[in-house]
Structure 1
Amino acid sequence: MIQRIERNTTYEISVKKGEELKLDVLLPNAYKVVYWTKRSTGRKEDWNRSHGVRSDRMTIRDGNLIINNFTATDAGTYEVLDSEGEILIMVTVTGERSSTLKHKKVFCISNTYFKYMYLSPPKKG
């Protein structure tokens, strides 16, 4: 069933240390992705349309922002902003303590653009 979620909703996902975090957040109208934690004094830009990713552990593949080798310092809130600074998607990422990472399906609406996000652990093997 497809569920409509209001804009500016925060999605929460968990990731195990060392895993790949795949965020399906790069909408056509996305201008940049910023990151912050409860303890940080400001936002840090992780990606923008002009310059790409800001870390050697991050890549862009098929419209996904991928963070390789997830660490505790990667936990926080990621905001996808349009060119006017309006939040399109907000995702809060926490560390996973259990040995099993569950698949989570998230649906979001941004303006008139519908994006289905499927967050899953990396394939073993």
Structure 2
Amino acid sequence: MPHSTPAFRPAADLAWEPTGPGVRRSLLAYNDDLLLVKVEFEQGALGPLHQHVHSQISYVESGDFEVTVGAETRVLQAGDTFYAAPNVPHGVVARQAGALLDSFSPLRLDFLPAAP
């Protein structure tokens, strides 16, 4: 069964899900090939080091993050991006409160809400 959001999704219709201390995410739009997620972080919150089979490109919408991809760590600010190739460990620490826009290809089925 194909997965897809409607063509348009007003911000008021989006749901937030806590994912860890000081972190929450909202699934903005997706289909079977692509997923866009907004993740908000309180200052000091972690996106722990992890890896997955999906390609991930992230855009720093706001805030200041220490980002690790593979063996390299950099500080990124609003407007910066990073790419995590499939199976490459990556994670973030929010040095200031902020938000990331994360895109994944293909769709991360583990992010979808359970079917009723």
Q: Could you say which structure has the higher strand fraction?
A: 2
Q: Do they fold alike, i.e. is TM over 0.5? A: no
TM-score of the superposed pair, with normalisation by structure 1: 0.34
Highest relative contact order (Cα 8 Å, sep 6+), 1 or 2? 1
TM-score, length-scaled by structure 2: 0.36
